[in-house]
Amino acid sequence: MFDLPASVRWLDFQPGRRILVISDIHGNLEYFRGVLELAAFSPEDELIIDGDFLEKGPDCLGTLHFIMELSKRGNVHPVRGNCDGWHSVFEHDEDGNGHLLQYLRWKGCGFLWELFRNLGVDIMNIPRLSPYVPLLHAYDREFDFIRAMPDAIDSENFTFVHAGRSPDKPLEAHSQDELNKIDRFMARGDHFRKWTVVGHYPVVLYGEDRVCANPIINWEQKIISIDGGCILKDDGQLNALIIPHKDSEDFSFVAYDPFPERRVLKDQVGSSRSYYIRWGDSQVQVLERGEEFSRCRHVRTGYEMDILTKYLFTDEEITGCNDCTDYVLPLKAGDTVRVVETCSRGYFVKHNGVSGWYYGELE
Ligand SMILES: [Mn+2]
């Protein structure tokens, strides 16, 4: 991908209209429909899609078509994320070094992968991509839509960008990458005059010993970070931030995940000590490999915990693992939880967006 000047769209929201913000749908149409239903989204609302509705998930083209359909009413406003800019495939010969073809083969899913599959191009068995790129013009309508998306939407009280921005220069002075690719934006400590709403960086990664996928509203910095890690995390969710109207800070949210809801039968005392092994720092040493659970030591910290063996990447002694925690949730009989994993020892569940273990019985 090539770094280009950012395009910014100004929006004047009508007074009194609700503003919903959803980011990082990543081709998961089921989650997207689910969260819109939970939010009771209607033509009376404004909907900001804050980047990365493509890649990683199973139905990128379906998600794009759904967004294109929704956008016809004029109240749906997509912003480009770092995973959405596929129109560049026509504008630069990205096949020069073969990286794009390698990426498609390695991923085995995603927007271009779906398009080539639909066009009957066998990605695994072509030597070069360039000769096949013109076939993609069958999807000009879709590429035109992607090309037309801004890299940021600005308004009186809210700025919507996929990943972040600098407080020291106007939005228009940023490059696309500067708005689309910043990791850990909230941890930079920047403060803003008006609210900056971002996705891109799963909010769980800001946690230390606890995993919470709910939006983070930082009142001091005026940043709202909403990426619930939909599909990227085994226990991820798709959040919709709800801004009651353009002059309101009475924020709320709804979250969709596909996990079954159950009721807790016994009180459980929460753990006082826990750790969260996460993406980017997930190297573990396997001390004792079991069929269901393996005793592991987190390499950087030395912290030991039992990890679901299926979460380990390889059979080697030093390996990586999916995000996981040994946090035991404090729960009361009657609480509802959403069950992510059912194991012989108990359940890995979510309670109000927080993930952890429950070792009692469920109704
Ligand atoms: Mn992103």
Residue burial 15-34, b: 16+ Cβ < 10 Å; e: rest: eeebbbbbbbbbbbbbbbeb
Which residues of the chain are modeled with pLDDT < 70?
Answer: 1-2, 93-97
pLDDT tens profile 183-233:
999 999 999 999 999 999 999 999 878 889 999 999 999 999 999 999 888
Closest C-alpha to 55, from 139, 112, 121: 112
- The whole-chain average pLDDT of the chain stands at 95
Q: Cα of 231 to ligand 1 centre, how many Å? A: 13
Closest C-alpha to 243, from 204, 215, 207, 221: 215
The pLDDT, as a whole number, for residue 123 is 92
The pLDDT, as a whole number, for residue 1 is 52
The pLDDT, as a whole number, for residue 92 is 74
Q: Cα of 55 to ligand 1 centre, how many Å? A: 10
The pLDDT, as a whole number, for residue 95 is 61
The pLDDT, as a whole number, for residue 228 is 97
Q: Cα of 81 to ligand 1 centre, how many Å? A: 5
Q: Model pTM?
A: 0.94
Closest C-alpha to 87, from 121, 68, 111: 111
Q: Cα of 182 to ligand 1 centre, how many Å? A: 9
Q: Cα of 342 to ligand 1 centre, how many Å? A: 31
Q: Cα of 200 to ligand 1 centre, how many Å? A: 4
Q: Cα of 25 to ligand 1 centre, how many Å? A: 10
Residue boundaries of the structural domains of the chain: 8-84+149-256, 261-358
Q: Cα of 115 to ligand 1 centre, how many Å? A: 21
Burial class (CB in 10 A: 0-12, 13-18, 19+), 223: buried
What tokens does 261 get? 């809801």
Q: Cα of 7 to ligand 1 centre, how many Å? A: 17
Task: Please name the fold of domain 8-84+149-256.
Answer: Purple Acid Phosphatase; chain A, domain 2 (3.60.21)
The pLDDT, as a whole number, for residue 98 is 79
Assign 3-state DSSP to the chain and report helix, strand, coil percentages, each to 5: 25, 25, 50
Closest C-alpha to 81, from 99, 62, 63: 63
Helix (H), strand (E) counts: the chain = 7, 22
Q: Cα of 279 to ligand 1 centre, how many Å? A: 15
* CA contacts within 13 A on the Cβ side of 55: 17
Q: Cα of 84 to ligand 1 centre, how many Å? A: 9
The pLDDT, as a whole number, for residue 93 is 65
The pLDDT, as a whole number, for residue 90 is 86
Instruction: Name residues with Cβ closer than 5 Å to ligand 1, which is an ion.
Output: 52, 81-82, 200
Q: Cα of 222 to ligand 1 centre, how many Å? A: 20
Q: How far apart are the first and last CA of the chain?
A: 51
Q: Cα of 23 to ligand 1 centre, how many Å? A: 9
269 touches 330 (CB < 8 A):
yes
Q: Cα of 141 to ligand 1 centre, how many Å? A: 23
